[in-house]
Chains A and B, each alone.
Chain A
Amino acid sequence: MAVWTDPGVWTDPGCGQSGAPALAAGLPSRSGAPESAGAVPTWAGNAQGLADATLTAMREPAETYLDAASTTPLHPAARSAMVEALDGFGDPARLYGRARRARMLLDRSRERLAAAVGAAPDELVLTSGGTEAANLAVTGLARGARRRRHLVVAAVEHTSVLAPARALTAQGFEVTEVGVDGTGRVDPAELAAAVRDDTLLVGLQHANHEVGTIQPVREAAELAHARGALLLVDACQTLGRLPVDMADLGADLLVASGHKSYGPPGTGFLAVSRRARLRPVMVGDERERRRRAGMENLPGVAGLAAAVAARVAEAPAERDRMADLSTRLVAGLAGIPEVVVYGDPATRLPHLVAFSILYIEGEALLLLLDAKGIAVHSGSSCTADTQEPSHVLAAMGAITHGSVRVSFLRDATEADVDRLLAVLPDAVADLREMAELDTQAIERAAEGR
């Protein structure tokens, strides 16, 4: 049986050595009969039935999209807000009526976003996305720093946090990367040991983007604040899925992405507390309280605010359903020999399951699944831009080949899980056979030399 496991704990389904605390603590077990394929998904607290049907119809006819952690389709509420804003052009920095109307839309959107994360409206800096927000947080804070020249980041942060932090070492900053355990979680004790009196910033994601483990952000905030450092929380994977509140998290800076939260791509924000002295990265005008120059993307911001407000309202009611889908998938994976499921079984994103299938190539599996209309992500080196295996899996001490990440959209159903499980065992068997044939051919060639 495949189980959530520390990579050090191996349970081999082929050897009857199960013994696993089957999904033990965390995910609630599935209840009720499987929905028939094509059943209309329903969820509480959603009054957008018709618009949601449109959303579903806009996808590719036979597509089973299981990569919500990469990007999400536009929420119907965001679409309406954007369509309305598209025709209302105007520069919010000017003084005439049209400009004032643009300013009102901008202000209203900013207020909605700020309320969603428990920030004040003037603490929000609107950006082109999570990546820009993370770059602004790290680089902007460093530019405003006086004597603090040290940063602490988790080794499993998104590269939009890691890369600007590492780049600062060329300017005399020191960066400590804190490792994680087998579930991908940072150890608060190790974090405590890394934070110093000259630490400017501690960067810790709310939840990991590859394996879904939720990080001890609250503890990190206390550790950072005890030394006078600020806490940066990357909430790109959690906003609109889990409660995200600056004060509850203890975050001084918070990064959010539009397209990962059913908003438009090209939108996002950095929420930055007044305690942080931030210098701009993008300069050229006085907008965003001189923290980010450039004309605001008004339709985008309107869409982002509508998406986030809608998601914050909807998410609580769908969390159990997401966890049930994850449970169903993991239970189905038990039918495939040699699968390791990653991440914390309980303290995790409910809609995301990461696992590795031993002895196959991640990219080859992605292509086979794509041919069946199923979209998933892989952290295997062959599928990455860099040819390097995922830095998250490597930091966890996890197997990187045959890596698969499945993440559910808000309207995912059991039928989506079942479509994946219907093709996965054969695909895996075929790939393992191919690997075996390749191996035999390589060995024959070696013998013939």
Chain B
Amino acid sequence: MTTAATTVDCLGLACPIPVVRLAKAVAAVEVGGVVELLADDPGARVDIPVWCRLKDQQLLARHDRPEGGWVFQVRRAH
């Protein structure tokens, strides 16, 4: 399990805020750093992995949260 350098809590927030905040957080960490994003918007489930692919950032994991929503771990690749 990778330790997240930064956690971004987007629970209860709708599209596109989770993607906007993820993009900002990834830009703010060092290359190799990990951002952990919490989100429960159905759009985020689709859009976060696609954003990582578009931007060549590394999606390390996506876990379901028992309370609902998901945890995404994204490593800044460049």
Contacts and interface: CB of A to CB of B under 8 A. Distances in A.
Given A340-B54, A397-B53, A389 B46 contact: yes
B1 interface: no
A8 B53 contact: yes
A387 B42 contact: yes
A398 interface: yes
Contacts of B24: 439
Describe B's contact surface by its main secondary structure: helix
A14 B61 CA distance: 29
A359 B53 contact: no
Interface in B40-54: 41-43, 46-47, 49-51, 53-54
B16 A361 contact: yes
Contacts of B54: 7-8, 10, 340, 358, 399
Contact of B43 (A380, A439, A442, A443): A380
Interface string A341-375: 00000000000000000111110000000000000
Describe A's contact surface by its main secondary structure: loop
Interface in B4-38: 9, 13-17, 19-21, 23-24
A402 interface: yes
Contacts of A10: 53-56
B43 A389 contact: yes
A399 B50 contact: yes
A358 B19 contact: yes
Contacts of A361: 14-16
B17 A400 contact: no
B38 to A, nearest CB: 12
A436 interface: yes
Contacts of B9: 446
A278 to B, nearest CB: 36
B53 A7 contact: yes
B47 A435 contact: no
Contacts of B47: 389, 399-401
B78 to A, nearest CB: 12
B48 to A, nearest CB: 10
26 contacts: A7-B50, A7-B53, A8-B53, A8-B54, A359-B19, A380-B15, A381-B41, A382-B14, A387-B42, A389-B42, A389-B43, A389-B46, A397-B49, A397-B50, A397-B53, A399-B47, A399-B50, A399-B54, A400-B43, A400-B47, A401-B43, A435-B16, A439-B20, A442-B13, A442-B21, A443-B21
Given A359-B19, A388-B42, 12 more contacts: A358-B54, A359-B20, A359-B23, A381-B15, A381-B41, A382-B15, A389-B47, A399-B19, A400-B50, A435-B17, A439-B21, A442-B17
